[in-house]
Amino acid sequence: MRLLVVIALCLFCCFDAAFGKQVRGIPQIVDEDTIYIGSTKVLFSSVDAPETEQVCLDTSGKNWSCGVEAKERLGAFSHNREWICELSGVDIYLRALSCTVDGESVSRWLVRNGWALAFRRYSIEYVADEDFAREHKHGVWSGAFIAPWDWRHRCASTVILGAIAVPVDAQGALFSHASTDRPPAANCLIKGNLSSVPQCIYHLPGGRFYDRLSMQPISSRRWFCTEAAAGCRRSKL
């Protein structure tokens, strides 16, 4: 019981320390909805963006690496400008939840330009921006795609989204080009094992276990482009 009380107090202190804190600086972009400012890890509020390895269909029904492009578009939007992140709250991983660039919400920009979806499970704040992106066929809404939260657990019953109409063979096209054993881009070769305990581990090419690590199951494997690797630690071997 005493241990549980100590843990609860520590979590409360972490939350209390983060609440209302502000961090500023030029970010290191890890992926489409996670950045670092210094040592502070920031997760954008109430949105979910395509995974780095995620595949979408374009206006012609051809596959494209929408996750990689989403990250590149966020980098272009940032363009070495200073970000201001308000730690209005923290999740269980102690990541911040709100950022602006020159007064513009990064989360709203991502959703309105079609590079993320409103994460309605947690908030409806950006639903109107998602409707705008769908209407104007911005970003992933230019073709067909799978919602990021469904992509991580995709199966035969997974729903395919699109701005107007979804090709009848969309699921087959997306799944056939979605092998997690292939890196999504030439510069995204780091393998992440999210199921490792007590902390996820990433492996660099040439490492002892790199070739042995299968990128299945999809729910616990991720490709990363930088060693920031979403908070994982580097393999010791």
**Tens digit of pLDDT for each residue in 113-136?**
999 999 998 889 999 999 999 999
Looking at residues 24-50, what average pLDDT do you find?
Answer: 86
Instruction: Identify the CA nearest to 143 among candidates 133, 129, 158, 155.
Output: 133
Report the distance separating Cα 95 and Cα 44, nearest Å. 9
Tokens of 3: 């241990």
Which DSSP category does 139 fall into? G
Tokens of 61: 């029904």
Looking at residues 169-192, what average pLDDT do you find?
Answer: 71
- Is the domain spanning 2-54+67-143 CATH 3.40.50.300? The answer is no
| Residue 188 contacts residue 68 (beta carbons within 8 Å) | yes
The better pLDDT of the pair 90, 103 is held by: 103
pLDDT tens across 181-224, in order?
677 777 788 888 877 766 678 899 988 888 888 887 766 787 78
Per-residue CA distances from 81 to 27, 34, 44, 160 (Å): 8, 16, 17, 35
Q: Is residue 100 classed exposed, middle or buried when 0-12, 13-18 and 19+ CB atoms within 10 A define those classes?
A: middle
The better pLDDT of the pair 226, 175 is held by: 226
pTM of the model: 0.72
Write down the pLDDT at residue 8.
39
Write down the pLDDT at residue 182.
75
**In the block, residue with structure tokens 């299968």:** 214
The strand ranges marked E within the chain are 21-25, 28-31, 34-37, 40-43, 47-48, 56-57, 63-64, 83-87, 98-101, 104-105, 117-118, 144-145, 161-162, 190-193, 201-203, 221-224, 233-234
Q: Over the chain, what is the mean pLDDT?
A: 80
Report the distance separating Cα 191 and Cα 113, nearest Å. 29
Task: Tell whether the model's pLDDT for residue 230 goes beyond 60.
Answer: no
Looking at residues 51-62, what average pLDDT do you find?
Answer: 84
Report the distance separating Cα 92 and Cα 79, nearest Å. 30
For the chain, which residues make up each domain, given as ranges? 2-54+67-143, 182-237
Instruction: Identify the CA nearest to 209 among candidates 235, 176, 182.
Output: 235
| Residue 222 contacts residue 192 (beta carbons within 8 Å) | yes
